[in-house]
Structure 1
Amino acid sequence: MNDRVAIITGAGGALGRATALRLGQDGFAVAVLGRASEELDESARLLDEAGVPVRTLEVDLRDAEAIEAAITTTDRDFGPVEALVNNAAIYPSTPFLDIPLAEYEDVVTVNQRAYFYAAQVAARPMVERRSGAIVNVGSITFHGGWSNLASYVSTKGAAVGLTRALARELGEYGVRVNAVSPGAFPTKAEEIQGDSAEYTEFVLTRQSLKRRGTNAELAAVVSFLVGPDSAFVTGQTINVDGGWIME
C-alpha cells in the first residue's frame, strides 16, 4: 500500500500525462486511467522510469461499472485515493445543426457522466477519511463559446457546475473540489483546428502572454489544487490560458 494515490483519467493524452508525471514528482503514487492504448502504456512507462509507483487502469469511461471497479480496487489495494483528476474528454467537431443525437450522447457520457460518477466513487472513501481533492478539467471554450463544438462546450460547462456543487456539499467533510480551464495547449485537440501555424497566430492574438503554454504549466496548477498550499481553496475554476479569458 502506498501512502497516497492520485488517479488521472485520460492519462494517455498530453495534459493527462504531464499531470501524472507532476503528481508523481510531488510524491503521489499514480494510477493512470484510460482506454487501452500505446499512449496510456507510455505514460505508465515514463512514471515507472521516474521511480513513481504506478498502476494502469484500462477503462472505457462509457462503462460505469468499470469506473467503479477501477477506483474502488485502487483505493483498497494500491493506496488511499487522495486526488482524482477528471481529465479525459472527447471533442468531435460538428456544426450544431448537424450533430447526431448519438454523437451528443457519447460526448455527454465521456465528458460529463464519467466525471460525475468517478467523483462520486472516489469521494466516498475521501469523506470517510475527511481528506481528499478532486480537480475537474474544464475548458476556456465554456467561457468564450466555440463554433462546431456545442456538445463539448456544454459538457465543459457542466464540469464547472459539478465542481461548485460538490465543493459546497463535500466541504464539511474536508474534501476540496476545484476546476482548471486550459487554454490552447499543444495536444491532439489542435488537429481539429487545421493549419498549425495559422492556429498559433490565432491563439497569440488573443492571449495576453504572447507564447504557447506548455503541458507542464497546466500540470503545475493541478499540482497546486491537490496539494497543501491550496488547503483553503475550493469551488474555484482557474483559467490557465495565458490571459485569454478574464472572468
Structure 2
Amino acid sequence: MGNLFDLSGKRALVTGSAQGIGLLLARGLAEHGAEVVINDITQQRATQAADALTAEGFRAVGYGFDVTHAQEVAKAIDNIEQEVGAIDILINNAGIQRRYPFTEFPEAEWDKVIDVNQKSVFLVSQQVAKYMMQRRQGKIINICSMQSELGRKTITPYAASKGAVKMLTRGMCVELAEYNIQVNGIAPGYFATDMTAALVNDDAFSAWLYQRTPAARWGIPEELIGAAVYLAAPASNFVNGHILFVDGGMLAAV
C-alpha cells in the first residue's frame, strides 16, 4: 500500500485555520504532502496565513467565507473545486467558546456557539460531500471535544454543540461510507492554547487538571497533528464513525 501516511497529491480544506490549532493542523497535513486550503471569515486573514505557509515551502491558498452561512459556503466550495481542485480532505475545525452560568446564558450567545460549532459542520460537510460522493472517495474529520462526552460549568452550549458534532460524525458515516468516504472525529482534551490561556495560568485549575488526567499535564497542540494525519491518510481507510480522543487518558479515568 506504499506509505500509509503520505498525503502527496491530496488537497485539504481546513475551516477556521488562519490561526491556532486550525493552522497547526493545516501545516501538519502540508508537511505530509497535502496542498491546503486555509479558511477564515475574512479573506485577508486567510490569504495571510496561506502566504505564510507558502513562504515555508508548502502549497497553500486562502479562501475567506463564513462557514455559518449556507449560500456563502455553497459558493465557496464550488469555487474551490473549480479554481483550485478537488477537496480530498475536509477538517471541520472552526469553533468558538462562550462562558456564562446556565441560567444567565444569553440567547444570542447560545445561537453563536451552535452556529459556529455545530451548524457549520453540517453546512460545509454537506457541500463537500456532494463532490466526494461523485468521486467515491474522501476524508472528513470533525473536531469534537472532551465536552462531546463530559459536561462542565458555564459552557453548557459548547458541550451541547460538541455532543451534536459527535453524532453528526456518526450519522454522516452511516450515510457516506458506501461512497468510500470516511468520517471521523478528533476530540482534544485540555491543551495549552490561546483559548485556554486563562486556565493554564490558573494554578488551582492546573493542579486539578494534573490530578484528573493520567498523563498529569496539559496537552501540547502539536500532539494533535498525528491524529489528523492518520485520519486523513490511507492508514485509516477502514476507520469510520470513530471519535479519537487525544486527552492524556482523561476520559478513561474516574
Q: Is the 8 A contact 2:150 2:159 kept in 1?
A: no
* Deviates further, 99-108 or 175-184: 99-108
Measured after TM superposition, the shift of residue 106 of structure 1 is 1.4
1:64 maps to 70
* Deviates further, 139-148 or 173-182: 139-148
Given the superposition, is the C-alpha separation of residues 187 and 222 from structure 1 closer, same or farther in structure 2, using an over 3 Å criterion?
A: same
* Deviates further, 35-44 or 166-175: 35-44
Secondary structure at 1:123's aligned position in 2? helix
Separation (CA, whole Å) in 2 of partners of 1:193 and 1:39: 27
1:106 maps to 112
Separation (CA, whole Å) in 2 of partners of 1:221 and 1:243: 15
2:54 maps to 48
Measured after TM superposition, the shift of residue 28 of structure 1 is 1.0
Does residue 156 (structure 1) correspond to residue 145 (structure 2)? The answer is no
**AA matched with 2:68:** R
2:215 maps to 209
Secondary structure at 1:6's aligned position in 2? strand
Separation (CA, whole Å) in 1 of partners of 2:44 and 2:86: 27
* Deviates further, 190-199 or 214-223: 190-199
Secondary structure at 1:135's aligned position in 2? strand
**What residue ranges of structure 1 are gaps of 5+ in the alignment?**
none
Given the superposition, is the C-alpha separation of residues 224 and 130 from structure 1 closer, same or farther in structure 2, using an over 3 Å criterion?
A: same
Please tell me the root mean square deviation across aligned C-alpha atoms, in Å. Answer: 1.9
Give me the TM-score of the superposition, normalised by structure 1: 0.93
Secondary structure at 2:142's aligned position in 1? strand
**AA matched with 1:166:** M
Separation (CA, whole Å) in 1 of partners of 2:125 and 2:223: 24
Give me the TM-score of the superposition, normalised by structure 2: 0.90
Measured after TM superposition, the shift of residue 111 of structure 1 is 0.8
Measured after TM superposition, the shift of residue 96 of structure 1 is 0.7
The correspondence of residues 26-45 of structure 1 with structure 2, limited to 5 A, is: 26-36=32-42, 40-45=46-51
1:78 maps to 84
Q: Name the count of aligned residue pairs.
A: 246
Separation (CA, whole Å) in 2 of partners of 1:169 and 1:120: 11
The correspondence of residues 124-135 of structure 1 with structure 2, limited to 5 A, is: 124-135=130-141
Deviations 1:39-94 (A, max 9, x none): 64553233112222211111222322112222221122212100000011111101
Q: Is the 8 A contact 1:15 1:219 kept in 2?
A: no
